[in-house]
Amino acid sequence: MLINIKDYLNQKIRPEPLAFLRIGFGLLMFFSVIRFYYNGWIESIYIEPFMHFKYYGFEWVKSLGQYNYLLFIICGVSSLFVALGYKYRFSIIVFFISFTYIELIDKTTYLNHYYFISVISFLFIFLPLNAKYSLDNYLNKKAFLLVPKWNIDAIKLFVFIVYFYAGLAKINSDWLLQAAPLSLWLTSNYDLPILGDLFQKSWVHYFFSWGGMLYDLLIPFFLIIHRTRIFAFVLVILFHVMTAILFPIGMFPYIMILFATIFFSSNQFQKIFKAFESIKFLKSRDIWYQEYNSKFQKINVLIISILLFVQILFPFRNLMYSGELFWNEEGYRFSWRVMLIEKMGYTTFRVIDSQSDKRILVENSNFLTDFQIKQMSFQPDMILEYAHFLGDYYKKRGFIEPKVFVDSYVTLNGRESQRFIDNNVNLLEEKESFKKKNWIIPLKDEIKGI
């Protein structure tokens, strides 16, 4: 077995798929940064809010105020350099750090594809995506005809995990037996030409639910198999274009379309690049072509193996917690559970000074943006963090021994709303940790599935 592993690690392949992915990824990320600026999100999400919700363990990450614009400029420029293959290793490291820092500023913005970008950009640090068709080749007069095959396979495995785990997560009673939450979302698209009326029909909701589950489970296999690859890629395009039209999920559809191309052979990418070889740095007689060999291969293999192993196990950490995952969300993030829940909450806070008669019914809009209020109202860790923020805030304003209580009602996937948090618990006595949050009132229903 060890011999087989050694032989596998020594297998070589042409680097065109890596070059194509580098260019596409860099351009998509550059466009994403421009999109944030154009829509005013840098200001409204990262600068204007009075407070930001932090990830556990990353409380040290702070908003940089007006310097957030500089952070986005660094992120955008580095993504463009990645696309060009200019100072690639340095550029991808800068992109990973700047992008991940941005996403750690406030967890109300958490999206699966932001997490995907952070993980994949970290993976890219250890892969030679600039081996060919890059400015580095032109400037260094050196390019590589062959790279280790496992470089491409590592990306394939990660994409496989994302798709397959998203499919596993859809094997639950809400998604398959109630067509929830798709039935809620599709009916809201009544104004679409032709399709609007169709989306009101129950059988369509179930068709999309079952179809989405089967798509996520099977598409990575169809992409791997040569005979079904073209068919699978057409499905990828149709599926993600449809989701882009129906749902406001940002760059995710285009990112997944791009990464599906990694399953195609190097020969197919060669044909694409031949059409652009008139560009000077893509083809130069002065460039010396050789086989890629990294003196850090053992370290790279170890780091990437650990990363992929974590990606395989980490999504199952919810099994350490009792209760309904969709309700308490303990272990929900970072697990490739995509578009599975529709939650809305109404949450109010009472601050009481146990040493006096002071009582405050908090107006959330005095401290949070509308988007933060919406996200906080149904996510337990945000409710707890906000309660501690309020305790500190009012202690500085004369409350001697503040206590914070919450009245919270949440609806999940169309169910009737029910009390979410025990309103008799002083949340200042509760601390954020990996332990189960016993102050969450259990859901009065059972969701069966993975």
Over the stretch 321-336, which tens digit does the pLDDT of each residue have?
999 999 999 999 999 9
Rank 6-15, 39-48, 183-192, 239-248 by mean pLDDT and report only the highest: 39-48
Determine contact, residues 354/394, Cβ cutoff 8 Å.
Answer: no
Q: Model-level pTM?
A: 0.94
Kindly report, residue by residue over 376-433, the tens digit of the pLDDT: 999 999 999 999 999 999 999 989 999 999 999 999 999 999 999 999 999 999 999 9
Which pair of tokens denotes residue 367?
């401290």
- CA gap 375, 345 in Å, rounded: 8
Counting beta carbons within 10 angstroms of the beta carbon of residue 260, is it exposed (0 to 12), middle (13 to 18) or buried (19 or more)? buried
Q: How far is CA 188 from CA 185, 193, 197, 256, in A?
A: 5, 13, 10, 25
- CA gap 3, 443 in Å, rounded: 52
Kindly report, residue by residue over 138-147, the tens digit of the pLDDT: 888 888 888 9
The whole-number pLDDT of residue 277 equals 66
Report whether the peptide linkage leading into residue 181 is cis, meaning its omega lies within 30 degrees of zero: yes
Of the two residues 276 and 252, the one the predictor is more confident about is 252
Cβ-proximal residues to 116 (8 Å cutoff; 6+ apart), any chain: 162, 252, 255
Which pair of tokens denotes residue 358?
């002071």
Residue among 123, 171, 174, 173 at smallest CA distance from 151:
123
The whole-number pLDDT of residue 237 equals 97
Reported confidence tier of residue 59, pLDDT bands at 50, 70, 90: very high
- CA gap 244, 249 in Å, rounded: 7
Which pair of tokens denotes residue 148?
């280790």
3-state helix, strand, coil in the chain (%, to 5): 60, 10, 35
Which pair of tokens denotes residue 27?
């351009």
Residue among 180, 170, 179 at smallest CA distance from 219:
170
